[in-house]
Amino acid sequence: MKGDSIRVAVIGQGFMGRAHSFAWARAACLETTALRPVLSVLCARNRDSLARHAATYGFAGWSDDWREVVRSPDVDLVDVCTPGASHAEIAAAALHAGKHVLCEKPLANSLEEAEILTSVAVRAAQQRVFAMVGFNYRRVPALAFAQALIATGRLGDVRHVRACYLQDWLVDPSFPLTWRLDGAQAGSGALGDLGSHVIDLVCFLTGSRFAEVVAQIETFVPERPIAGSEIGLTATAELGGASGPVTVDDAFTMLGRLDTGALATLEATRMAPGRKNALCIEVNGSAASLRFDLERLNELELCETRGSAGFTRVLVTEPDSPYFAQWWPSGHVLGWEHSFVHEMQDLLAAIADGRQPEPSFESGLAVQAVLDAVMRSAREHRWVVPGDR
């Protein structure tokens, strides 16, 4: 780092790579950012679009060699936005090289990888080199406000949490195979892609961990067309209608018990017609309940009076609402992309203060243990304790 600046490299230029690059560029414009991010390098495999994307977001340079990037003396922080299969290798190499790390969720493709990577992060933190997992929904102002309400005891004793994350982009069986449908690259399907978010939010909101789970998973479309881009060809037609196996889940459901004794009901799917990005979570306590819907992300529903007529809409857009002071006048809503800007700001503030940013890799490991427990429970048809082998 140089003075109050920190030089950032983003690894990956897919969906998450673009979202993170946009957020880093926006964070650099805000006076409230503790360290000013300087976009140093964009790194990805596709050289055809790499230079264009680097220029679009304002990166000083680009590279198609991540190993070169993590060794570079001109990089202070590495943001890992690649498929899950490479998270552990890239993040560990960056930490060993003395770079701070932001790693997209889920932390790894297996519990064993996550454990090793967390050990590396713990040792790096002792040298004031920090790592954080990218659970961006923690930074939605309404969810940060909900967490504060629960932490102050406003809901009383938490008794039940129910959460779901529903999408529909895989309903059409002609949708082609992508890396997200390949277990070797993605680790799991809706479970890791969407389920990791709801698992983390349950832990974040309630301040608790999962004590045991029982689950089921399903792949509804076991085979899909192979897109030419996935194997280096230029068009699907060249394959003569070839198809390949889907090696991840399309959906999962689970029951769980938290270490506080509260009950939890979770599900996620990419096969729910009409649901585009429906992340909903409800927390029921002894004194009140609250509910959040991502498709109305500036709002909470709150019911505080036993026997009342129902929930009240709370608009979380005031200057004293989480994250709002730096943005617009009262009532002017924020969007999905702001959650990433807030994520970058929180990471930079922690680095500037010399403290561990949250969620740490240890928090990411806790989520990974639940993902592993869900898969084992579905395979063995029994209750499983996360992390217990």
Instruction: Look up the domain containing 28 and give its range.
Output: 5-137
Where a domain ends, among 137, 169, 202?
137
Same domain, 131 and 156: no
Same domain, 117 and 166: no
**pLDDT at residue 31, as a whole number:** 86
Same domain, 283 and 322: yes
Same domain, 50 and 79: yes
Residue 232: other Cβ atoms inside 10 A: 6
Same domain, 103 and 209: no
96 within a domain of the structure (yes/no): yes
* Helices of type H across 280-329: none
Same domain, 198 and 276: yes
pLDDT digits (tens, 9 = 90+) for 269-318: 999 999 999 999 999 999 999 999 999 999 999 999 776 779 999 999 99
Tally of domains within the chain: 2
* Residues in the chain where the model's pLDDT stays below 50: 230-239
389 within a domain of the structure (yes/no): no
364 within a domain of the structure (yes/no): no
**pLDDT at residue 236, as a whole number:** 40
User: Could you give the CA distance from residue 328 to residue 330 in angstroms, rounded to a whole number?
Assistant: 7
Q: CA dihedral defined by 33, 36, 41, 44, rounded to 10 degrees?
A: 0
**pLDDT at residue 237, as a whole number:** 39
Residue with tokens 């503030």: 349
Same domain, 282 and 178: yes
**pLDDT at residue 206, as a whole number:** 98
List the CATH number of the domain containing 47. Answer: 3.40.50.720
Specify the long-range contacts of residues 171-178, CB closer than 8 Å, at least 24 apart: 171/271, 171/272, 171/273, 173/221, 173/224, 174/224, 174/225, 175/224, 176/224, 176/225, 176/226, 176/227, 176/230, 176/236, 177/224, 177/225, 177/226, 177/227, 177/230, 177/243, 177/244, 177/246, 178/227, 178/230
191 within a domain of the structure (yes/no): yes
User: Could you give the CA distance from residue 125 to residue 122 in angstroms, rounded to a whole number?
Assistant: 5
**pLDDT at residue 228, as a whole number:** 59
Distances 125 to 37, 74, 277 between C-alpha atoms, Å? 20, 21, 35
Where a domain ends, among 103, 137, 171?
137
378 within a domain of the structure (yes/no): no
List the CATH number of the domain containing 186. Answer: 3.30.360.10
Same domain, 155 and 274: yes
